[in-house]
Each structure stands twice: as structure tokens, then as C-alpha cells.
Structure 1
Amino acid sequence: MIDLNKDIQYVKGIGPKKSQKLNKLNIFTLKDLLYYFPRQFEDRNNLKKIIQLGNNEKATIKVVIAGVSTSSPRKGMDITKVDVRDETGYAKLVFFNQPYIKNTFKCGDTILVFGKIKKEFKNVELSCCEVEHLTNFPKNTCKVMPIYPLTYGVSNKEIISIIKNVLSDKELKIQEYLPQRIIEKYKLCSIDYAVRNIHSPSSKEALKIALYRIVFEEFLILQLGLFMFKNGANEAEGIKFEESKKLNSILKSLPFKLTGAQDRALSEIIDDMQCEKAMNRLVQGDVGSGKTVVALLALANCALNGYQGALMAPTEILAEQHYISLTETLESFGIKVELLVGSLTKKQKEKVLEKVKNNEVDILIGTHALIEDKVEFDNLGLVITDEQHRFGVRQRSKLSEKGENPHILVMTATPIPRTLALILYGDLDISIIDELPPGRQPIETIAVDKSKRDRAYNSLVRKEVEKGRQVYIVCPLVEESEAIEAKAAVELVEELRLEYFTDLRVGLLHGKMKGSEKDAIMKSFKNKEIDILVSTTVIEVGVNVPNATLMIIENAERFGLAQLHQLRGRVGRGKHKSYCILIYASKSEVCTQRMSIMQETNDGFKISEKDLEIRGPGEFFGTRQHGLPELKVANIFKHMKILKLAQQEARYIVCEDHKLQNLENKILKKEIIEKFEHSVKEISLN
């Protein structure tokens, strides 16, 4: 049997040069190559007569060559046109900059052609053509063709040829890892059949059978890994809390009444904390729905029961904001709150760590600093991660490992679409805060192209500042690095100060600033000492300035919908009417779609569903960065029924054999470990 872990360069017909190109596609082993699935399939079975061809469609025709001509309309361009005919009419095949191709055509020969049709009246042209002479076994026409994701220097034909060569080896047999019981129960084909027919379908039906197997398997492995990962940390009994009588006094001390949705979420959390099983709950809420106060009350209940609580936030600004909010509310009730962030001095950190270890701190709030090894809790009872999608699976569990099976609460202001939550949080209880506090007004969103930028700055910004309001301007998103993004922000501030706002107070905030600098800028903005705050996406979460009523987002097309919605949520937090102006430079269809959605709705759940639809789950949730295996074929919109079946089966397996120790599950366990890499292996599968 062939070793599937064999380095790709030693596979017959590949070698060092070709393997370097394949490495760019993350193909390093023979198994990587076999699991490098096509992104789509082209049906070239659609054999038509010339008279049947429609404009802009793709089709295959069987024709006779009637003539060949070449021309060079300008320097650097060669056009070869081949006249072809069948019994219903005439057509031309067009080839650009392939002068050598004329020698492959001979008048009178019958050929098969697959191409894109351009039809104007009776004139029919085919471009981007695949041509081969008539044969009983055509290679590139009259069949379903796989289309692969490519990189520079690797063509689709080349990938097809390499994989075909590998699959033709009689010694190749891909070992089955799904238990026979599952294969029979869900009528799945073998993995060997699936891999062969996804790369080289023997028929449309064979492809359908192969795809069903791969989709089911991808969902099952993802769901099993997540179930095992989360359940592995929750085998022991949880801490049983009481609902403290003092909690009601804290509730009454708040300057507002909880909304119905907040009240419901809090009741669900308190009920969970009174159970013997550790809580494992996700709180989803739109921007401004008031999740922080629910977290505050949960942490207060934990402290009042004599245990410590931890709240991890993705940025120092957000952590500091939580710290201020909790201290102001809970200090008078004797609850001690401390902050642990990277910008503290060594001496300050040591002092906080000592207090936490000696149980002199009831609630510790911080960033990634909380998961460092030197952070030791005396009796951790509740762990909350805010904006949980910013943290990897491993980071979240590392914090909960600092206690004896503490209760876990994860919160997000990015509403995760229910469809995606089905995959990622199938075993979590979910609380949804779907009600905004009274007084929150919908934000009016206007998308304009960059030609209207001057008007936005000269008119809209000035109007708001003259009313005594404040403005956010968000710099374009730069993917390369935080340093480049910071440089772009500095340049934008200089431009705005010189060209538009010479008489106004313009501030700057970006990720490369020290924590103390960020604090000073935000304090100045809150205290109305800055009229316009130019910022990178560091203001995406948690910043609360009720007097800010206008947000302008430069190059809005560079942001995902969920991120645009998060940014927009920084305004509209006070009693005044608020606006968000999206300035875009792209004319693409995706950009138009995104801008329309943002103008149509303020509902974060609707927006996140659309964002997921446009970008796909991998990019939306950053699965690659969070230790989750990529879905190569499965699509949660198209394959929802299969997802539910796979999830049902995953629950059954975990219930019956939660560590996958039974003989029939051992090979499947190995596959899960491989797919999840370190995130699961380190915690729950050993």
C-alpha cells in the first residue's frame, strides 16, 4: 500500500521544481494532493448543434474545420480564427496570442470544442476553447470537468494530469476511516470511491455520490472535534452557585432597567450556575444591546458566592472600559475588581498577580495577558470571553483550565448567523439579546462613491461639529500589518488637517500606540476635547461616546459586512440622530451588494447571514486562524440537511464513546486529531 504521507516531490512525475509550485497550494504530501478538491465542476457533456447555441453560455460542439486565418491588429497581439461548421450552421473559434495553434488544425478534420459562446445575430464565436480531435475517450470535452483553485505557474490541466497519474497507480488504496455502521446507516460510498470520483467523475451520478460522502464527512469531523473539545473540559461536576440576595441590590443600583431580553439572558445564566453541571453558554447580542451589564451581573453573582471571576477582552481599550464599568458599579458592594493588560509595568503586574493568587481579587479583567502561565487564581468559578471570535479555541480553554471546571460564558457583539452557530456551537446553550435599550435610534447609513468624498467632509462633518457633535473617520483596512495600517492612519490625519479641517481639533488612534496613549486620546474624545477622531479598526468594539453622531468609513469595500456593522455601532449611542457614511472605490458586484445591505438594515443578524453567504464560513469566522479544519466541499447553505444529519450522528458518537476509544472509532479519532491539529489533541483526545 502506498504511504499517503509521502513528500509530494517523491511522487512519480512531480519532482522538486513542480513540488515547490504545489507547496504554494498547501500541497506537501500525497494525501494533501488527493484531498485537494476542485472548487467547482464544469459540465462539458452538454453537446449542442451550432444553431442551438445561446449567447454567453458554455457548451460543447462537434464540428468540421472549414478554414484557418491569422491576424495581428496591433503590436503584441496575435489572433487566430478557425472557421468550423456542422449540419446546422457556421461558427468561429477565436484564440488570442497563440500563433502556434494554427498548425494543429487541418481542414476537413472533425473536432470537439468546448468554449464560451458570443452570439450576435447569426454570427457565432467561441472563445477560451478546449479543442480535441474526435475520439471514443475524450479527455477535456463531453464529460464533467473538475476546476481547481490555482496559483501562478500551475494550470488546471496540470493538476488534472498529476492527480490522474496518481490515481492510475494500482497500488493506491485510500484507507477507510468512517465506521462501517455509519457508512451503512447514511448510505455513504467508500472514501476511496469518493476521492477518485470527485477528481475524475465516471458520471454525474458518481460525482453526486462522491460529493455526498465528502460533505457528510467534513461536517461530521468538524462537529465531532468541537464536541469533544468542549465536552472534554466539562466532564467533572460544575460549581453549584446560589443566587445571591445582594444581586437584587446591585440590579436596583443600576441607572436603568434591564430590557426583557437582558433579563431573560441573565435568568438563563443564573439558572445554569445553580446546576451541578458547568455552564457552557454563548450570549449573542447586536451592537449596543447591553451584553456587558449581563456579564457584570454574572460576575457579581460569582463573587458573591465566594469565587473569583475572569473576563477576557480582545483589546486593552475594551478591557479598560469593562474595568471602569465594573469598578464603578460593584465597588460599593465590597467586590474587588482588578485589571491585567500588557501595558502595565512589571511592578504593577506582579502586584495584581499576587493579589489574584491570594484571593484578594474577586474579578480579574484583562486581555490575552490572563492566559499567561504566571496568572494563578485561588478559586476561579466563572470565565467570560468577550468578542469570543477574536480568540482561538486553544486560548479560550487555556483560561478555563486555570480553575477547577469553572462555568464558561462566551459573548459576541458580532451576531453569528444561526446556520454557522449550528456548526460552531452545537453543544452550547445560546442566549440571544435581540432587543435594544430604550432610546437607541437606528443609524442612517449612506453609501457614496469616492467622487463624493469632498462633499462628505466639507458639508456633513462640519454640520455635525457645528451642532456640538463629534465624528469618527475610519481609515481603510490594510491587511499587511498593524504598522502599515498605523502609517496609513498618520498620513490620512495629515491630509485631513491640511486640506479639510485646519480649524478643527483632529485626533488619531491606531493599534501601534501604547496603551497609555490610546487611553489619553479616548479620554480627550469622551471629554469633547477632540472634534474628529481618525482611527483604524481598534475602535471596532467597546468604545462608547454618546456625543459621536457621524462615522465616515474610507474604502468601505475593504471591510466585511459584520465589521462594517460593528464599526457603525460606535455611533447612535446617545439621544441624537446618527449617520454612517460608507465611501467606496470599487465598482464590483460584491461591493454593490455589501453597500446595499448596509443601507437597508441595522439588524446585525440579517447582516451576518448575508456576510456569511457572500464570504463563506472560512473567511467569515477565520476558521484557519482558530484551529478549525477548513470546509473544502461542504457549504452550510447548500448542505444544511446533511449538516443536521452529521451533527445528530456526532452527538450520538460522543454520547456513546466520548473519547473515541472503541475499536471502530479509533481510525476516525486519528483523522480528527490530524484535521484539528493541536487545538483538540492537547486537550480532550489524549
Structure 2
Amino acid sequence: MAYIDLEDSLDGIKGIGPKRAALLADQGIRNLGDLLTNYPRRYLDRNFTKDIILKQGDVVTLLGNISDSYLVHGKKSRLIVGFKTLNNERINLVFFRGVNFFNKLFTVDRKLVISGKLEYFKGYQIVHPEYEMLNDEKDDESDLLHAGRIIPLYPSTESLKEEGFDSKGFRKIIHFVLGKGSIRENLPPALVRKRKLASRDDSFRKIHFPETMEAVGEARRRFAYEELYYFQLLLFYKQKQREKIKRLLWPIPKSPTADLLLKNLPFRLTEDQTNAVHSILKSAKQDVPIAALLQGDVGSGKTITALIIALHYIDNRIQVAMLAPTEILARQHFETIYKFLGNMPFLGIELLLGGENKKLRAEKLARMKNGESSLIIGTHSLLQEDIQFSDLGLVIIDEQHKFGVDQRETIRSKGKNPDILAMTATPIPRTLCLTLYGDLDLVNIRSKPAGRKPIDTRWYKEERRAGVYNSIRKYIKEGRQCYIVYPLVEDSEKVDLESCTKAYEDLSKNIFPDLRVGLLHGKMKSAEKDSVMAAFKQNQIQILVTTTVVEVGVDVPNATILVVEHANRFGISQLHQLRGRVGRSDLESFCILMTGDFISDEASDRLNALTKSNDGYELAEKDLEIRGPGELLGVKQSGLPEFKIADLVHDRNLLEEAKQDARDFAKGDELEKVEIQSRFQEGKFIFAN
């Protein structure tokens, strides 16, 4: 049998002209490979019901003809369509919606297959059944691509359906293509045997036209492995390409400034922090630039760890850039680092933000360009074209999942093949690390500084609000401070939630008129935000009503109470990040999750998880399980490929196997010969034969 070339266009398929081809191309289906990897979204078991005795409550699939139809008028009009089975049993098909459409569609003697749940009302009936029209020719009983078997249902759009590309249309053209020949294997035969995978040709036939659901499972496993294997190969390929460009700037093994800082710190580094410093500096001894991901739960001390590493570069006259996603976080880093290094003005610490005075900005840019500034901290403003460095050798990217791949490459391109130290306070599940950051060295800080107590997290409903307010008042009278976080900035007509601006008015005037209440949200001007945060840090504001603008970077050790309103609207990782705003001292701290009385089961799972655990890594795994990787990180932003079939939650074991197999392959010289790059375009898989 001839082989099918998956790169062939769709032109050879009967009935696909330029208009239809363009519509399919809009959905990413440009060639035969795209068509065959447009996998079914689900399946219907339309094997014909074999029992001749029909029973109420059974879900049945039956072949038959239309015998009659009539309209019934009343409080709610409905269409009754008489359907006769091959055993001459009558079943009424009842339609309450689309009455006129179905009245024209279901003509007498029309042959079709129906599926649905049998009910009994003056005879058997099925309300709004699923149906497939069959051809009327007697010799075409076998239009049974669409009935009498397990049939696939495909993703489609209204415009595609108008051109005949509903599930039935896709089944027809895919059946036609698979009939043209067989499909070449694209995995090494040894791997197919080792992992007990079905062949590629067999898998395409099983996934589109399965005889059993077990066969679907076999095919799905094969294609999931294939996607994961080639993605891991791509990561190893990128790593090898990066290693071809040798290191230009070397950090020094011993940093006098780092030693002085460590001597003057009012605390000792944790064992995890010390190990992280040693691990990353050891990697920096190699002649290839490093790319590391420093993971640390909220409050674990990543900033001081990164600073000590940075000083080994700065002492060798190598510039360091620290990129933060928000102005609040950038300013927080600047203030924290300046506090640590304030008696060392010779280091040249710079803060670069957007919207600064032109003269001031020009002076900063000049210092960066001529090398006077050693440590430059900023936001997206560091990515602008006019930013130039003298000798940029280390880029620290905080909350790195909030920056896209292009942004990370932009900042790298401004240096001399700099080392990359990505940091995240959002613990990333191991599965995602293997996928997203397989080409990075992973360094974890799991322990927290000595003296930190677990945060007491509680979930309360509306009837406990008065008690919560009493507790807030009690702790504030003892000198503590409180955050109250709302999901919205302004009232929204679409989302019926109390906004933080409205809440601020109520809390300051009616609930706590005797206390100092402040307001902070993302739509305020930078100067206003800075002023509010300064007042809160100095305890001039006792209760800060805010949005998730405080999610990262705000460090006020005296704030020991966090109340999250409408907590069911937040994800686990975001709630955990918010919770990290308290518990930043040896004082007992509380996180109160407030919700209404009726919330979804999924939201209940999230909130219960928060009350039971303070471990960000454990919670990240739970979040991945509940929400999936795309929603957890944001597919486009994170660089996560849009896998067509692999599922990073359920295919964890497959991912481990694929990574090991890809690593073994990458050890040889064959990786350079494989056209890895051609398999990926814009994060989407394109398979070659």
C-alpha cells in the first residue's frame, strides 16, 4: 500500500475547493497531517441497541424511518415526530426548540439514526434526541460511518458547519484520506517496542474509527507520548543550541561584598538558601551560560539569595538586571536591596520605571550604558529599545511566568550572552517544570526563615462576618495591621460583586470609623500607590482595602491579618500568593477566606485545600489537578505548547518516560540531524513523516 504524505495539501480531497480550504486553514487545518491530528473531542456509542424490548430509562441508539409529524399547541408548543424502528416500534421524538426547523427537516420516510433516553408519556418518547440522517439509497445501509458503531465527534465552528464540516463531514473526509494508504512511523522502532505503543498508522485508524473505547485509549496514549517526546527533544535541542555560544563574562568564585553582606545580616541564611547559592555559582563555572529556575514558596527568601549570587558578578564589574512584573514589586526589590546594601553606595543600584522624568531617565540610561550602574532593577521598561548596558552578564527575572518568551529573549539580547536566573514564588508542579523548564536547572528553596509560623487559614461564610470584624478590631488595638482584598476595582454590571472602592467607603465610614482605613488598587497613579504603601508600612494606615495588586512583593511584617472577600473567585495559587502577604514575622498570622453561602464544588475543593495546607508545592499540584496547565499559567504567556492530545495532569508518567527517552537520544549526535524546529510553529505541533 502507498504511503500518505501528511504534508500534502487538502486539494486532493473531493469536494474541498478554495473556499472550504480557506475555512479549514483558519482553524489550523492546512494539510493532511493537520486533518488527521484534528482529534475527536469525544465519542458517542452508537452501536445499535440489540434488545428488542424497550424499557423506560434506557439510553438507546436505533435505526429507523420517519412515519409522520405534527405540531401540538398549548402553553408551550412542541413538535412530535413519529419514528418507526426496524422492529416497527413507534417512538415519538419531541422537540420544544427549533420547531419550524425540525418540522422541515424530518420528512416522511426519511431514514435516520436516533440516540437518547427513553421516557414514557402516552407511549415511548425521546426529548430532543441526537440524530444522524442517512442516505436514502437502499444499498447504502452502510452509511454506517455515522451509526451502528462508536462514532467520533469533532471540534467545529458555525462557519465550518455551514460548509458541511460538522462531525459527519469530518468523518467522511478523514475516512477518505485513511483509505488512500498507510502512514509512516515517526518514532524509533525500539521506542515503540520499549514503551509498548501502537503503530502510528494503526493509532490514526483507532482514534478516528474505533471498534472499542479501549482502542481509543491505546491510540490516545500513543499520540500523547509522541507529542511529549518531540517536545522534550525540542527542549534538549534548544539547550544544545544555547550551549554552543560560550560564556563571555565570568562571576568571581569569592565575592568580598557578598561576604560583607552575610556578615552584617541580622539573620542567617537557611540551608536551602545556602545550597541554592552554591548550586548556581557552581554551574556558573562552566564555559556555557547558565539558565536556572529558582523556585521558592512565598516568604522563603529568594530575593536575598538572588542578591548574594548577583554580587559575585557585580564584584567582577559585570552588570546585573532584575526584571519585575509590576512597579510595586520592582520598588519593593529596590528598597529591600538598598536596605541590605545601603552602606555600599559604590555598587551603583538603579531603579528604572516607566513614566519617569525625561531628564532623570536620561541620566539613568547614561549610567547604565557607561557601566556606572551595576545593579539595575526595573519593570517592562527595561525591555525598551533605548535601554543599553555596558556589560550585562546576569538577568534575574522575578515572577518569570508573567513574562512571555519574547520578553525574556529581548532582555537577554541586551547583554553579552548573559546568564539567566528566573525566579518564581508560585511553586510550579513537577510535571509543568519538566515540560516548560526542561532546559533550565531547577533549584528549590523549600524551607522558610527561622521563627516564621504557619498561617492560620480559615474559611467563613457570611454569617461569621461580624465575628471577623470583631477579631480585626481586637488585633489592631494590639498594634497589628490588616489587609482586606477584593477581586474588583469598580462595580461591574456583569459581575455582581462588591468592589473594593465601594467597600472602602463602607468600611471606613460605617464599620471602622474609628480606625485608619486606606485604599490601594491597580488603577491608581504610581505616586498615589507609593504614598499609600508608605503610609501602610509606617502603620499610619491600619486597614488596607485593596485588590490583587498586593499579590506579590508587598512586605509589611506588622500586617498579620488578611481577609479575602469572594475567595471562591480566586484560584489556589493566587490565594496562596495573597496569603503570603502575612506571616512575614514571628507574629501569629491569620488568613480569612470569605464567601457567600452557595459556591461550586470546585471552589469548595480549592478553599478546603488552602485551610489544610501551607505548602505551596502541595497546593500547586492540587491547582494543576483542578484547573489544568493552560489556565494555571496562561498558555500563551507561559510558552506552554498547545498540546493537541497530551494532558499534563493525566499523562505525568508518560511525560517522565518521554523525557528519559528524549534525554537518551539527545546524548548522541543524532539530535542535530532531526528537524526538530520544523515540528513546532508558534507553540503548535506540526508533524512531519
Give TM class, smaller chain. Answer: 0.7 to 0.9
Contact 1:285 1:415 in 2 (8 A): yes
Residue 261, structure 1, aligned to residue 272, structure 2: yes
Q: 1:397 corresponds to which residue?
A: 409
The CA deviation string for residues 68-109 of structure 1, in whole angstroms up to 9 with x for no partner, is 99866633x53759799999x999866543657689999999
* Distance of aligned partners of 1:479 and 1:108 in 2 relative to their CA distance in 1, 3 Å threshold: farther
- What secondary structure is seen at the aligned counterpart in 2 of 1:622? helix
Measured in 2, the distance between the counterparts of 1:119 and 1:443 equals: 57
Paired residues of 1:84 and 1:91 also in contact (CA < 8 A) = yes
SS in 1 for 2:421: strand
Does 2:436 correspond to 1:427?
no
The structure-2 alpha-carbon separation of the partners of 1:105 and 1:353, relative to structure 1 and needing over 3 Å to count, comes to closer
Q: Percent same amino acid at aligned positions? A: 37
Give the root-mean-square deviation of aligned CA atoms.
Answer: 4.5
- Tell me which residue corresponds to 2:235: 226
Match of residue 454, structure 2, among 428, 438, 442: 442
Partner of 1:161: 168
Q: In the alignment, is residue 129 of structure 1 matched against residue 136 of structure 2? A: no
**What is the DSSP-based 3-state SS (H/G/I as helix, E as strand, rest coil) of the residue aligned with 1:344?**
coil
1:620 maps to 2:627: no
How much has 1:209 moved relative to structure 2?
4.5
Taking a change above 3 Å as real, the CA distance of residues 512 and 577 of structure 1, as seen in their structure-2 partners, is: closer
Provide the C-alpha distance between the structure 1 equivalents of 2:14 and 2:633, rounded to a whole number of angstroms. 35
1:344 aligns with 356
Q: CA deviation at 1:535?
A: 1.8
Tell me, yes or no, if the aligned pair for 2:567 and 2:593 is still in contact at 8 Å.
no
In the TM superposition, residue 270 of structure 1 has moved relative to its aligned partner by: 2.5
Distance 1:480 1:151 in 2: 34
* Paired amino acid for 2:405: V
1:143 counterpart = 2:154:
no
For 1:477 and 1:657, how far apart are their aligned partners in 2?
54
- Residue in structure 1 matched with residue 137 of structure 2 by the alignment: none
Counterparts in 2 of 1:262 and 1:46: CA distance versus 1, 3 Å = farther
Is 2:217 aligned against 1:211? no
One-letter amino acid matched to 1:164: R
Task: Look up the SS of the partner of 1:426 in the other structure.
Answer: coil
Structure 1 CA distance, aligned partners of 2:638 and 2:10? 26
Matched, 1:670 2:678: yes
In the alignment, is the contact (CA less than 8 A) between 2:489 and 2:521 conserved in 1? no
| 1:233 and 1:405 in contact (8 A); partners too | no
Q: Out of 456, 466, 470, which is 1:455 matched to?
A: 466
What is the rounded CA distance, in whole Å, between the counterparts of 2:385 and 2:625 in structure 1? 39
Pairing of 1:442-521 with structure 2 (within 5 A): 442-449=454-461, 451-452=462-463, 454-455=465-466, 458-476=469-487, 488-521=499-532
Of 273, 284, 290, the residue aligned with 2:295 is: 284
Q: Deviations over 1:26-72 (max 9, x none)?
A: 778887665443333344448464889897x8564689999999866
Aligned residues of 1:485 and 1:536 also touching (Cα < 8 A): no
| 2:138 corresponding residue in structure 1 | none
For residue 572 of structure 2, what is the aligned residue in structure 1? Answer: 561
- Closer, same or farther: CA 350–102 of 1 in aligned 2, 3 Å: closer
2:377 paired with 1:368: no
Equivalent pair of 2:491/2:499 in contact (CA under 8 Å): no
How far apart in 1 are the matches of 2:319 and 2:128?
Answer: 66
Q: Which one of the candidate residues 599, 603, 606 is aligned to 1:587? A: 599
Q: Secondary structure at the match of 1:442?
A: coil
Amino acid at match of 2:413: E
**Structure-2 change in CA distance of 1:233 and 1:350 (3 Å):** farther
Aligned partner of 2:658 in structure 1 is: 646
Superposition pairs for residues 595-606 of structure 1, below 5 Å? 595-606=607-618
- Find out whether 1:354 has 2:371 as its counterpart: no
Aligned equivalents of 1:520, 1:11: Cα separation in 2? 69
Task: Report how many residues are paired.
Answer: 664
Alignment of 1:288-327 (within 5 A): 288-327=299-338
Higher mean C-alpha displacement, 217-226 vs 418-427: 217-226
Counterparts of 1:420 and 1:119, CA distance in 2 = 50
Evaluate the alpha carbon distance shift between residue 615 and residue 85 of structure 1 in structure 2; reply closer, same or farther with a 3 A threshold.
Answer: same
Deviations 1:327-348 (A, max 9, x none): 2212434422111111322222
CA deviations 1:393-442 (Å, max 9, x no partner) are 22223222333332221111100011211111223222211112222222
Distance in 1, matches of 2:52 and 2:609, equals: 42
Which amino acid in the other structure matches residue 671 of structure 1? Answer: R
Partner SS state of residue 343, structure 2: helix
More displaced, 29-38 or 99-108?
A: 99-108
Q: CA deviation at 1:299?
A: 1.0
How many Å apart are 1:671 and its aligned residue? 2.1
- 2:646 aligned to which of 634, 637, 660: 634
- Which of 335, 340, 343 is the equivalent residue of 1:332? 343
> CA 1:306/1:93 → structure 2, altered by over 3 Å: closer, same or farther?
same
Deviations 1:329-372 (A, max 9, x none): 12434422111111322222221221122111221111122222
**Cα distance in 2 between the residues matched to 1:453 and 1:279:** 52
Query: Compared with structure 1, are the counterparts of its residues 91 and 470 closer, same or farther at alpha carbon in structure 2 (3 Å cutoff)?
Result: farther
Q: Deviations over 1:596-645 (max 9, x none)?
A: 21222111111111111111111112122334321221012322232223
SS of equivalent to 1:360:
coil
**1:151–1:439: structure 2 CA closer, same or farther, 3 Å change rule?**
farther
- Deviation, 1:180, is 6.0
Aligned to 1:681: none
Cα distance, 1:430–1:499 mapped onto 2, change above 3 Å? same
Distance 1:80 1:498, change over 3 A: farther
Query: Do the aligned partners of 2:490 and 2:500 also contact (CA within 8 Å) in 1?
Result: no
In the TM superposition, what whole-angstrom CA distance separates every residue of 1:570-593 from its partner, at most 9, and x where no partner exists? Answer: 122231332322325753221222
The equivalent of 2:429 in structure 1 is 417
Answer whether contact 1:486 1:512 (CA < 8 A) is retained: no
Q: 1:58 to 1:424 in 2, by over 3 A?
A: farther
**Which stretch shifts more, 493-502 or 420-429?**
493-502
Give me the whole-angstrom Cα distance separating, in 1, the residues matched to 2:198 and 2:551: 47
The residue aligned with 1:683 is none
Distance across 1 between alignment mates of 2:472 and 2:74: 52
Query: Which residue number corresponds to residue 684 of structure 1?
Result: none
Q: Distance between the aligned counterparts of 1:564 and 1:418, measured in 2? A: 20
User: Whole-Å Cα distance in 1 between the matches of residues 116 and 573 of structure 2?
Assistant: 39
> SS of the counterpart of 1:411?
strand
Q: Unaligned 5+ residue runs, structure 2?
A: 135-140
Tell me: CA distance 1:456–1:591, structure 2 relative to 1, closer, same or farther (3 Å): farther
The 2-side partners of 1:585 and 1:21 are apart by 46
* Deviation, structure 1 residue 540: 0.7
Partner of 1:538: 549
Q: Distance in 1 between matches of 2:15 and 2:109?
A: 39
Give 1:680's aligned residue.
none
Q: Is the 8 Å Cα contact of residues 72 and 79 (structure 2) preserved in structure 1?
A: yes
Name the SS for the 1:405 alignment partner: coil
SS in 2 for 1:301: helix
Alpha-carbon deviations, 1:120-172, whole Å to 9, x = none?
9xx99865533569955545544323344566687799521232343355597
For structure 1, the residue ranges without an aligned partner over 5 or more in a row are: 678-686
Partners of 2:488 and 2:84 in 1: how far apart? 51
Q: 1:551 corresponds to which residue?
A: 562
Give the conservation status (yes or no) of the 8 Å contact 1:66–1:85: no
CA distance in 2, matches of 1:82, 1:503: 74
**1:38 corresponds to which residue?**
40
